[in-house]
């Protein structure tokens, strides 16, 4: 039995799913459930601090970006803020969709909206950390598969580079950032405004750093005419963000497999396996003849 597998088996009896769900409802609650008080305090302060800083800067008007016919109880669940469910529900209770009267946006509306959205993404990362923390014997190991997830949101492909998967990281970066750039060109920058395209922006926001930088630089551009390819641009930008979610799942799954000693995907290169440093000894490596054959698994 490898040390990694032992690490998984010796973890405490806490339920990983419960830890993740508690974190979703209240940042830090899952870590507190696991007896990690300091982790809970840090997660709560960071995630909720960002959310309420965003509320203050936006005066709680973020969901007023939605058109009147879209203002339903479940509409905000498709926004990044839904990653911090407790914060989003608090906002809906206290601010809702506004007064129903047209009023000017606060001076720092765009920044405030971005901060509350970032809070939701960071709490999703905290949920992954709590889920991993519930299953490891050494708490310090819980960050190993989770840090690349955060890095992938900061910049697509960065999490893969962190794991030593350079070629895949460069491919992910080139494809996703290239797709986003193409979408922005086709939409002539109109995709960079949450006010104009609430839901497309929500998907695009999951691309992370590139989308935030582009919005900061070009998000205030005025639209003075019809844009011929705006719909294609909006779809490309949104799909780039959604594909980055798959990249985040990939780095988490790879890191989790390395942490717990699970079999890695067949596409892992020999150099990546050699660089792992924790590979099982020849006696621990199962021979192909020892693996179950088709039809024997249920026996």
Confidence (pLDDT) at 222: 83
Confidence (pLDDT) at 16: 95
Confidence (pLDDT) at 21: 98
Separation of alpha carbons 159 and 152, rounded Å: 5
Confidence (pLDDT) at 201: 97
pTM of the model: 0.83
Confidence (pLDDT) at 291: 47
Q: Taking a C-beta distance cutoff of 8 angstroms, is the pair 269, 168 a contact?
A: no
Q: Scan for tokens 């011929």, then name that residue.
A: 228
Separation of alpha carbons 297 and 299, rounded Å: 6
pLDDT along the chain (299 residues), means of 10: 51 83 98 96 98 96 92 92 96 91 91 97 98 93 96 98 97 98 95 94 97 92 88 97 97 95 66 50 46 42
For 7, 92, 177, 295, the CA distances from 173, given in Å and listed in that order, are 33, 36, 6, 41
Q: How many other C-beta atoms are found inside a 10 Å radius of the C-beta of residue 294?
A: 5
Q: Scan for tokens 């799942």, then name that residue.
A: 249
For 110, 185, 210, 222, the CA distances from 218, given in Å and listed in that order, are 12, 11, 12, 10
Could you tell me the end-to-end alpha-carbon distance of the chain, in angstroms, rounded to an integer?
24
Confidence (pLDDT) at 274: 55
Confidence (pLDDT) at 158: 98
Q: Scan for tokens 């949450």, then name that residue.
A: 194
Confidence (pLDDT) at 264: 79
Confidence (pLDDT) at 101: 82
Confidence (pLDDT) at 210: 97
Residue 183, token pair as written in the block: 């979408």
φ, ψ of residue 293 to 5 degrees: the values are -90, 165
Q: Taking a C-beta distance cutoff of 8 angstroms, is the pair 234, 194 a contact?
A: no
Confidence (pLDDT) at 4: 53
Closest alpha carbon to 46 in 150, 131, 149: 150
Separation of alpha carbons 237 and 223, rounded Å: 18
Number of residues in the chain:
299
């Amino acid at each position: 039995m490898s040390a990694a597998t032992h690490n998984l088996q010796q973890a405490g009896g806490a339920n990983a799913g419960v830890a993740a769900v508690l974190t979703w409802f209240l940042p830090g609650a899952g870590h507190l459930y696991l007896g990690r008080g300091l982790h809970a305090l840090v997660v709560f302060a960071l995630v909720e601090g960002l959310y309420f800083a965003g509320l203050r800067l936006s005066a709680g008007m973020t969901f007023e970006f939605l058109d009147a016919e879209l203002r339903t109880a479940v509409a905000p669940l498709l926004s990044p803020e839904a990653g911090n469910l407790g914060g989003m529900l608090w906002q809906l209770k206290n601010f809702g969709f506004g007064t129903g009267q047209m009023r000017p946006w606060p001076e720092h509306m765009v920044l405030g909206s971005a901060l509350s959205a970032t809070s939701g993404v960071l709490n999703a990362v905290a949920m992954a950390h709590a889920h991993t923390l519930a299953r490891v014997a050494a708490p310090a190991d819980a960050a190993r598969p989770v840090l690349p997830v955060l890095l992938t949101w900061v910049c697509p492909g960065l999490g893969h580079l962190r794991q030593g998967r350079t070629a895949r990281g460069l491919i992910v970066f080139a494809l996703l950032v290239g797709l986003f750039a193409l979408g922005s060109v086709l939409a002539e920058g109109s995709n960079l405004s949450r006010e104009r395209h609430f839901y497309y922006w929500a998907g695009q926001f999951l691309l992370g750093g590139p989308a935030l930088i582009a919005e900061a630089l070009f998000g205030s551009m005025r639209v003075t005419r019809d844009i011929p390819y705006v719909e294609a641009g909006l779809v490309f930008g949104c799909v780039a963000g959604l594909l980055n979610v798959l990249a985040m799942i990939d780095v988490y799954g790879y890191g989790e497999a390395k942490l717990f000693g699970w079999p890695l995907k067949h596409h892992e290169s020999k150099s990546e396996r050699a660089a792992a440093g924790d590979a099982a000894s020849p006696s621990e490596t199962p021979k192909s003849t020892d693996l179950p054959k088709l039809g024997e698994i249920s026996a």
